[in-house]
Amino acid sequence: MKLPLANTRDTWRGAAKIAKTNWKILSVTTVAQLAAAGAAVAIPFLVGKLLDQITHGTNSAQVTTYIWAFAALVLIQLVCTFVGEYAGQIFGERSFHTLRTNLMRDLLKLPLGTVENAGTGDMLGRITKDIDRIDFFFRRGLGAMLSLLATVIVTYVLAFWTSPLLAPVLFLPLLGMWPLGRWYFPKAIPAYQAGSAMWAEVNGQISENAEQAEHLESLGLVPLRNRRLRHSLTTIFNNERYTAWLRFWLLGVTQLNVLFPLLAVIGWGGYLKSHGLVSTGELTTIFLYVLTLRYPIDESTFWIDQIQYAQTSLSRILGVGTVPADRAPSVTSVTGKAWEMQDLRFRYGNGPEVLKGLDLRLEPGETLAIVGTSGAGKSTLARLLAGIDLPTGGTLTVGDVAIGDLAEDALHKQVALLTQEHHIFDATLAQNLQLAAPDATEDELLSALEAVGATWVRDLPDGLETNLGASQVHLSPSQAQQVALARLVLMDPHTLILDEATSMMDPNSARDIEHALGKVLQGRTVVMIAHRLFTAQDADRICVMEDGQIAELGTHDELVAAEGRYAHLWEAWTAQ
Ligand code: ADP
């Protein structure tokens, strides 16, 4: 499930909106580029005039006037090009800034489930490659294209002014470009879009391979992953070859296109001249215009390509904003602390139901252990309780408020999820902790660390200001876990969800962590996904899940006495 693309209409609308926001600077660059093009194109026009005057007999004063006029035009062209480029760069920077800011806003608003399903590659591709392409297009492309467009328009206007009979030959390249465009675009756009999606997938594969290198090696999955990567790269290669083939024809036919008018000017121009319908000067001007047009038409093939890339990238960037919100949070504070599930149901996307109608009430301060075979739905339930995913049926409330109605801050005051995955950011220890409580003071940070037994903070070279991260001070897994626990202390939610929190620890550090964890859990409602039954044993109640349903619910003693599923699991466990 990749993130969506914005459709063509919305993409153009998005581009128009950016242009509208920055219309002043865009107008400056447009006017300046038009003036620069006007000045450049006026030179052949004056050359023709001068030639005619020389043919008819002129004096040196008139020729000197022309020379001054040429000099003035060159100067105007120089100044206007500079102003146009400068304003174009400012427009590019501003537009790019708006786009990047909006992308970050849209990314941060994405439902977490959507982010997880889309995978890192897709998102990374949009943030890096697509943003780079747009950046290039805004900085370089817009100015260049405006200049090309202005040159073409002014050339046509002056050509018709010079000789309405001969000027139509300048339309010949356009006549050829029209069918070429109709052939090229419908093939190129999907191919470029497919290419971007393939690159995103390869990015994802590479980052996954790098992150999971040790696991892949130990499981002997390296050849398999290599084969998959090679296959993806071959697909990309084939796609690139196809688009290169399309470009080859685009370029080749364009080259031929600019040759025709040259022949036409010689043929048709010679005919008109021999009948006295054009002057030598007019013929020269049009001939020079045919030559002038070669550059913008040649260049335009490059920029037409870049427009495709930019449009594809823009549709990927704007597509992030089209993901509908999964909730409309409106409640900012909750009074009660009890949890209530009624006929709670959940399915991932269009998949089968994985939670099939759970009814359960959790009292404040209660500890509930959830046990069950793999795939029973334990982690899914944990995700729902933590507010990551929302129920697809039934209700889940905390203090009588549906979990989807809670604003983000209010949600974090109710519940936090602690999993094996906790990230230490490449920042100081203080900054790592302040993620959970941005306003916490140094004392509060230190006492949170003390509370989880992280006495090692005293030995760090710069205490709380020590830089953590790969190239800096490296924390051991149990120290990292303590940082995660200290974050929880700072967030201070009344309910904690522990999903396999300590199962990956080596037994010694697991005991340390469990001790620290014990302190953090005190006085809170706790839902614990228990993989080792002895942790479940101490819970107030145990919930045995099976196939998305609650199979048994009660205290350890009750369930052992009932001689049901839990009793059998317990028997097997204690016999080990
Ligand atoms: P448990 O934690 O008990 O092992 P889970 O809650 O992880 O069970 O999974 C319950 C069911 O949901 C399983 O059939 C699993 O394949 C499916 N499932 C889990 N995560 C996803 C997901 N992101 N997308 C689709 N199905 C999923």
Instruction: Name the pairing type of β-strands 549-554 and 541-546.
Output: antiparallel
Say if residues 559 and 571 touch (Cβ distance below 8 Å).
no
Tell me what pLDDT residue 535 has: 75
Which residue is closest in CA terms to ligand 1's atom 13? Answer: 375
- Rounded to the nearest whole angstrom, what is the distance from the C-alpha of residue 375 to the centroid of ligand 1? 6
Q: Given this chain, do its domains 8-322 and 339-575 carry the same CATH topology?
A: no
For residue 460, what is the DSSP state?
Answer: S
Start-to-end CA distance of the chain, whole Å, equals 42
Its pTM stands at 0.70
Which of 353, 354, 497 has most ligand 1 atoms within 8 Å of its beta carbon, as the pocket-test mutant? 354
Mutate to test the pocket of ligand 1, among 116, 345, 374, 380 (most ligand atoms within 8 A of CB): 380
Measure CA 35 to chain center.
38
Output the residue whose Cα is nearest ligand 1's atom 24. 348
Under a CB-based contact definition with an 8 Å cutoff, are residues 319 and 196 in contact? no
Q: H helices then E strands: how many in the chain?
A: 19, 10
Measure the CA–CA gap between 431 and 371, rounded to whole angstroms: 36
Atom of ligand 1 nearest to the CA of 383: 6
Q: How far is the CA of 14 from the centre of ligand 1 (A)?
A: 37
DSSP 374-401: TTSSHHHHHHHHTTSS--SEEEEEETTE
CA distance 516 to 509: 10
At residue 471, the pLDDT reads 63
Closest atom, ligand 1, to C-alpha of 374:
4
pLDDT value of position 296: 85
Cα gap 215→530, rounded to integer Å:
24
Residue 377 alpha carbon to ligand 1 centre in Å: 6
So what CATH class is 339-575?
alpha beta
| Residue with CA nearest ligand 1 atom 26 | 348
The residue nearest atom 12 of ligand 1, judged by CA position, is 354
Q: Using CA atoms, how far apart are residues 26 and 32, in angstroms rounded to an integer?
A: 10
CA distance to 71, 151, 157, 311, per residue, from 46 (Å): 12, 16, 14, 40
Radius of gyration for the alpha carbons in the chain, expressed in angstroms and rounded: 35
Q: Is the distance from CB of 368 to CB of 526 less than 8 angstroms?
A: yes
List the alpha helices (DSSP H) in 126-221: 131-136, 142-162, 172-211, 213-218
**What letter would DSSP give residue 1?**
-
The residue whose C-alpha atom lies closest to atom 14 belonging to ligand 1 is 375
Task: Tell me the C-alpha distance between 343 and 548, whole Å.
Answer: 12
Length of the chain: 576
Q: Which ranges of 435-494 would DSSP assign to H, the alpha helix?
A: 442-451, 477-491
Mean pLDDT, the chain cut into blocks of 10 residues (576 residues total): 87 91 91 90 91 85 91 96 91 88 89 80 84 85 84 90 91 83 88 85 85 84 92 95 92 82 90 92 91 84 83 91 85 89 92 94 94 89 92 92 89 86 83 88 90 84 80 78 89 88 57 77 90 80 94 92 88 78
Ligand 1 geometric centre to CA of 380 (Å):
6
Which residue among 112, 348, 350, 500 is best mutated to probe the pocket of ligand 1, counting the most ligand atoms within 8 A of its Cβ? 348
Going by alpha carbons, the residue nearest to atom 19 of ligand 1 is 380
Handedness of CA 271, 275, 278, 279 (dihedral sign): positive
544: helix, coil or strand?
strand
Kindly list the domain boundaries of the chain, sorted by start residue. 8-322, 339-575
Q: Per CATH, the architecture of 8-322 is what?
A: Up-down Bundle (1.20)
| Cα(368) to centroid(ligand 1), Å | 20
The residue whose CA has the least distance to atom 21 of ligand 1 is 348
Nearest atom within ligand 1 for CA of residue 376: 3
3-state secondary structure of 550: strand
H helix intervals, 329-455: 378-385, 408-414, 429-434, 442-451
Do the beta carbons of residue 201 and residue 120 sit within 8 Å? no
If you take atom 22 of ligand 1, which residue's CA is the nearest one?
348
User: Which protein residue's CA is at the shortest distance from atom 7 of ligand 1?
Assistant: 379
State the closest ligand 1 atom to the C-alpha of 380, by its place in the atom list counted from 1: 6
Q: Which two tokens stand for residue 120?
A: 């890192």
Q: How far apart are CA 344 and CA 357, in angstroms?
A: 5
CA–centroid distance, residue 355 to ligand 1 (Å): 10
Centre of ligand 1 from the C-alpha of residue 418, in Å: 18
Q: How many CB atoms lie within 10 A of CB 454?
A: 21
Give the span between the Cα atoms of 546 and 480, in whole angstroms.
Answer: 33
Which residues have C-beta within 8 Å of that of residue 220, sequence separation ≥ 6?
none
CA 162 vs CA 46, 68, 282, 287, 506: distances in Å: 10, 21, 6, 11, 87
Q: Please state, in angstroms and rounded to a whole number, the distance separating the CA atoms of residues 352 and 338.
A: 29
In degrees, to the nearest 5, what angle opens at C-alpha 155 toward C-alphas 181 and 22? 75
Rounded to the nearest angstrom, the distance between the alpha carbon of 425 and the centre of ligand 1 is 28
- Residue to probe by mutation, ligand 1, list 379, 385, 528, most atoms within 8 Å of CB: 379
Rounded CA-CA distance 561/352 in Å is 34
Q: Give, using CA atoms, the residue closest to atom 5 of ligand 1.
A: 377
Burial of 164 (C-beta count, 10 Å sphere; 0-12/13-18/19+):
exposed
Among residues 435, 417, 412, 416, the alpha carbon closest in space to that of 425 is found at 435
- DSSP summary character for residue 222: H
Distance 404 CA to ligand 1 centre (A): 21
How far does residue 555's CA lie from ligand 1's centre (Å)? 26
| Gap from CA of 285 to ligand 1 centroid (Å) | 74
User: Hey, which bits of 411-540 come out as E strands?
Assistant: 415-418, 495-499, 525-529
DSSP readout, 6-48? Answer: --HHHHHHHHHHHHHHTHHHHHHHHHHHHHHHHHHHHHHHHHH
Distance 383 CA to ligand 1 centre (A): 11
Instruction: Tell me how far the alpha carbon of residue 379 lies from the centroid of ligand 1, in angstroms.
Output: 7
Binding pocket residue ranges, ligand 1, CB within 6 Å: 348, 351, 354, 372, 374-380
Q: Considering Cα of 182, then 188, then 191, then 196, what sign does the dihedral take?
A: negative
How remote is the CA of residue 41 from the centroid of ligand 1, in Å?
67
Residue 442 to residue 422: CA distance in whole angstroms: 22
- Cα(119) to ligand 1 centroid in Å equals 16
> What is the separation of C-alpha 300 from the centre of its chain, rounded to a whole number of angstroms?
28
Kindly report the protein residue whose alpha carbon is nearest to atom 25 of ligand 1. 348
> Do 304 and 250 meet the contact criterion of CB atoms below 8 Å apart?
yes
